Amino acid sequence: MANIPTQQSEPLVKEPLDLVNAIEQLLAAPYGMQGATIITATGAAHSVTGYCMVAIQDGTQLDMSNCDTNWREISAGAAGTPVTDLLLPVGVPFYGDFTKIFLLAGKVIVYNK
């Protein structure tokens, strides 16, 4: 007798995390209880006072030459040229002392100090 593959069906009872999307899960994260700023506008500088930044959209890119952070820029490009654009993966917290954020693309949450 041949093995008949069983069809997996979606459960009728959902777990709490099955009812929210990835952005809602990031907004419910335990850090940032003192408030957050969601930045969605690109191509302009945004004044913030934050300590943690999390990308909430694929393709989020910072223009590091127009951001004010306590990060050091290390030459990693061809012939020692500084890297000025930074692609942020979704959901990964980046910590620092942020005072100005310049987005080229995407959306971020900046948790306030």
The tens digit of pLDDT for each residue in 5-16 reads 566 676 677 776
Residue 3 lies in a domain: no
The Cα–Cα gap between 91 and 38 comes to 14
Higher pLDDT, 106 or 19: 106
Residue 1 lies in a domain: no
Residue 4 lies in a domain: no
The Cα–Cα gap between 68 and 74 comes to 15
pLDDT of residue 110: 92
Helix or strand (DSSP H, E) at 25:
helix 22-27
Tens-place pLDDT, residues 22-60: 667 666 666 555 688 889 999 889 999 999 999 999 999
Residue 5 lies in a domain: no
Question: Average pLDDT in the 55-67 region?
Answer: 90
Residue 6 lies in a domain: no
pLDDT of residue 77: 58
Residue 10 lies in a domain: no
pLDDT of residue 35: 82
Domain that holds residue 63: 17-112
Please name the residues in contact with 43: beta carbons below 8 A apart, sequence gap of 6 or more: 103, 104
Residue 69 lies in a domain: yes
Residue 2 lies in a domain: no
Show the tokens assigned to 73.
């820029």
The Cα–Cα gap between 100 and 98 comes to 6
pLDDT over 70 at 2, yes or no: no
Structural contact between residues 64 and 104, judged by C-beta atoms closer than 8 angstroms: no
Q: How many structural domains comprise the chain? A: 1
